[in-house]
């Protein structure tokens, strides 16, 4: 059974200190002792607390590793004009592919731990606090004293699609094998591991090998044309991958001019061991290829306000479906529903996204 946000907060505090009293919990959370007692009773009914003395069930969740940065996005009021200043709207908010996926998963009531690196600066502190408030476990994120928090700068066109972007993510070089070795037990205790290709290539190989040896499903977001190149050496250890057409070309080295080319490139990935390929096709939806399924699935139609974060939401919805035991097709539709709800909002992560919305949109449930 799903937990409320307050139940998650209480469970997190109890895990930190199993001997904590209800009075202490009430004081820390700013609620009454009787309210705490009610929440604890619900946690016991749901099976997350197994008895007196707060014996907590060790629930496996999802581990996400990847980019965490501050997004600066600009969108012109009218058609974007090159080589001049455009009047428009500018937004600054937490971002990063991995962080966005983790944030979306927390809103979908999936227990999620995030592995990443931020700087010892105001931007890093903001990222950690807002991600923590969303319900993500950020206790394993390392704080760098030598590099600043990553910045992603994007210019959108008038309809909300990205025109050009710059990504300053050098800090993720510190998400290295040494760091990951210290998090081995966290990774091995995961139901699913998700990573984006922002992390170093040697770290990708380490995580893919570790998950493969421990039978942990791996979900990969290629991120960009250049970063997708890092995945070539681990294709046989990837369970799910979500490239767009350009990233598919980059990984396979094959030109994708039409659907037949795309299917050939997808077959290339499948022949090299990728179990499930989900190609994102923008307004056309997705193309799925797996052992059981080969088909196009149309998106859920909506007005585009800002397309930023659509891919991150799709990956999160896909993982939500897999985590909850749905079929690949239904899981992909969950992803499409999450993407639709995201692009219809001005936010990279729609703060109103929840699992009831997904279930209402995906009729097969």
Q: Does domain 62-67+96-146+169-361 have CATH number 3.40.630.30?
A: no
pLDDT the model gives residue 52:
56
pLDDT the model gives residue 9:
84
pLDDT the model gives residue 184:
94
Residue ranges with strand state E in 137-225: 142-144, 150-156, 162-168, 190-196, 218-221
pLDDT the model gives residue 347:
84
Q: What dihedral angle (degrees, nearest 10) is formed by the CA atoms of 177, 220, 238, 179?
A: 10
C-beta of residue 241 within 8 angstroms of C-beta of residue 276: yes
pLDDT the model gives residue 18:
74
Radius of gyration over alpha carbons of the chain, in Å? 21
Secondary structure letter of residue 155 according to DSSP: E
pLDDT the model gives residue 239:
97
**Concatenated DSSP letters of 72-86:** EEEEESSS--TTS--
SS3 content of the chain, % helix, strand, coil (to 5): 45, 20, 35
Q: What is the mean pLDDT of each run of 10 residues along the chain (365 residues)?
A: 79 78 84 86 79 60 95 92 93 93 96 96 95 94 94 89 88 95 94 96 97 96 95 97 97 95 97 97 94 93 83 96 93 96 89 90 79
Burial class (CB in 10 A: 0-12, 13-18, 19+), 356: exposed
Residue ranges with strand state E in 79-161: 88-95, 112-115, 117-119, 142-144, 150-156
Give me the CATH code for the 5-46 domain, please.
1.10.10
Q: How far apart are CA 150 and CA 167, in angstroms?
A: 8
pLDDT the model gives residue 96:
93
Domain spans in the chain, listed from the N-terminal domain onward: 5-46, 62-67+96-146+169-361
Do 5-46 and 62-67+96-146+169-361 show the same overall fold? no
Q: Which residues contact 82 (CB under 8 A, 6 or more apart)?
A: none
Beta bridge partners of 89: 75
The pTM of this model reads 0.80
């Amino acid at each position: 059974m799903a937990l409320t946000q307050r139940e998650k907060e209480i469970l997190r505090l109890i895990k930190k200190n199993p001997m904590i009293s209800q009075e202490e919990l009430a004081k820390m959370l700013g609620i009454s002792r009787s309210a705490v007692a009610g929440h604890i009773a619900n946690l016991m009914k749901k099976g997350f607390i197994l008895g007196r003395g707060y014996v907590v069930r060790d629930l496996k969740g999802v581990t996400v590793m990847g980019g965490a940065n501050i997004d600066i996005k600009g969108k012109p009021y009218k058609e974007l004009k090159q080589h001049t200043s455009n009047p428009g709207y500018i937004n600054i908010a937490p971002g990063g592919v991995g962080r966005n996926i983790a944030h979306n998963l927390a809103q979908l009531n999936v227990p999620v731990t995030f592995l990443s690196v931020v700087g010892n600066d105001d931007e890093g502190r903001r990222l950690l606090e807002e991600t923590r408030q969303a319900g993500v476990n950020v206790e394993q994120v390392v704080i760098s004293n030598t590099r600043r928090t990553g910045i992603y700068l994007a210019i959108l066109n008038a309809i909300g699609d990205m025109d050009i972007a710059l990504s300053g993510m050098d800090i993720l070089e510190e998400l290295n094998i040494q760091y990951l070795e210290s998090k081995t037990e966290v990774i091995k205790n995961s139901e699913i591991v998700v990573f984006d290709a922002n992390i170093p290539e040697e770290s990708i190989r380490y995580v893919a090998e570790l998950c493969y040896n421990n039978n942990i499903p791996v979900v990969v977001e290629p991120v960009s044309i250049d970063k997708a190149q890092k995945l070539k050496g681990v294709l046989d250890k990837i369970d799910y991958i979500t490239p767009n057409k350009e990233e598919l070309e980059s990984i396979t080295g094959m030109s994708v001019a039409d659907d037949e080319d795309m299917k050939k490139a997808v077959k290339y990935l499948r022949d090299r061991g990728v179990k499930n390929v989900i190609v994102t096709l923008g307004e056309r939806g997705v193309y799925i290829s797996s052992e059981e399924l080969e088909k196009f699935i149309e998106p859920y139609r909506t007005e585009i306000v800002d397309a930023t974060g659509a891919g991150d939401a799709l990956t999160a919805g896909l993982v939500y479906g897999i985590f909850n035991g749905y079929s690949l097709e239904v899981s992909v539709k969950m992803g499409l529903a999450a993407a639709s709800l995201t692009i219809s909002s001005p936010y990279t992560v729609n703060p109103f996204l929840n699992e009831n919305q997904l279930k209402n949109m995906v009729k097969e449930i």
